Chain A
Amino acid sequence: DVKVTQSSRYLVKRTGEKVFLECVQDMDHENMFWYRQDPGLGLRLIYFSYDVKMKEKGDIPEGYSVSREKKERFSLILESASTNQTSMYLCATSGYGYTFGSGTRLTVV
């Protein structure tokens, strides 16, 4: 089975900190995604990548950047965390189907 591993299950950061959320897959999937999940809004796409060093903006990219230096790793970066970025972040990968990580619940205080 494809596994998608997110480095932290819970994270608490201070306003203004630079935050890295890491996602690693153990299959050779080209496509990787970062979603943000908020109550009443569902999952919204922040960024996705279809190859190493390739990235595309999703629906809500403001305040975020991404890095994909290796095929198996896709990082989400909050350059200067703000309280409105408190949320659940889900990483996903797709080959034939989609596989999701277990999410990182980020709190910015």
Chain B
Amino acid sequence: AQTVTQSQPEMSVQEAETVTLSCTYDTSESDYYLFWYKQPPSRQMILVIRQEAYKQQNATENRFSVNFQKAAKSFSLKISDSQLGDAAMYFCAYRSPLSSGSARQLTFGSGTQLTVLP
């Protein structure tokens, strides 16, 4: 079974600064998908960014980018120019390829609570 580990329960960043959230995972599969989700106090889970393991290029979405190190099984999220609205719980998640029997569900890490200081 796959596991996802987020070793930072809490992080804080000054507004306009850059912060990196860590995520490692364990899998024996060679093809898979990785995600970062944001959960603000409204509880709504919002997809931040998605990475396909077969793609070597790191995904980016505006101020959000990832550092995907497949050999190290590491998938960190970098938030640049942090804004007050970035304050939320961030979850890293893993999904098996569609050809796998366990393909349908996401496996989540324990989350990192990000505080943005004005």
Chain A residues with CB under 8 Å of chain B are 31, 33, 35, 40-45, 48, 50, 58, 88, 90, 92, 94, 97-98, 100, 102-103
CB <8 Å contact, A100 and B44: yes
Distance A97 CA – B106 CA, assembled complex (angstroms):
11
B45 CB within 8 Å of chain A: yes
Given A88-B43, A102-B44, A103-B43; A41-B110 close (CB under 8 Å): yes
Q: Whole-angstrom distance from the CB of B115 to the nearest CB of chain A?
A: 16
Query: If A40-B110, A41-B110 touch, does A90 touch B104 (CB 8 Å cutoff)?
Result: no
A to B CB contacts below 8 Å, 22 in the list: A33-B106, A40-B110, A42-B4, A42-B91, A42-B108, A42-B110, A43-B91, A43-B106, A43-B108, A44-B108, A45-B105, A58-B105, A90-B45, A92-B45, A92-B106, A97-B47, A98-B45, A98-B47, A98-B106, A100-B44, A100-B45, A103-B43
Interface contacts beyond A44-B108, A45-B106, A102-B43: sample of 11 additional A-B pairs, CB < 8 Å, sorted by A: A31-B104, A42-B110, A43-B91, A48-B105, A90-B45, A92-B45, A92-B106, A94-B104, A97-B50, A98-B106, A100-B45
Question: Which residues from chain B contact A90 at a C-beta distance below 8 Å?
Answer: 43, 45
Note all chain A residues with C-beta closer than 8 A to B110: 40-42
Cα of A48 to Cα of B17 in the assembled complex, Å: 40
Contact of B28 with A by CB under 8 A: no
Question: What's the minimum C-beta distance from A28 to chain B, rounded to whole angstroms?
Answer: 16
What chain A residues lie within 8 Å of B9 (beta carbons)?
40
CB-defined contacts of B109 to chain A, threshold 8 Å: 42
Tell me, in angstroms, the Cα distance from A48 to B47 when the chains sit together.
20
Contacts of B42 in A (CB 8 A): 102
Task: Determine how close the nearest CB of chain A comes to the CB of B87; give it in whole angstroms.
Answer: 17
Expressed in whole angstroms, the minimum distance between the Cβ of B84 and any Cβ of chain A is 22
CB of A5 to closest CB in B, whole Å? 12
Complex CA–CA separation, A97 to B47 (angstroms): 9
| C-alpha gap A21/B56 in the complex (Å) | 41
A100 to B106, CA, bound (A): 12
Bound: A48/B104 CA distance, A = 9
Docked complex Cα distance between A17 and B107 (Å)? 30
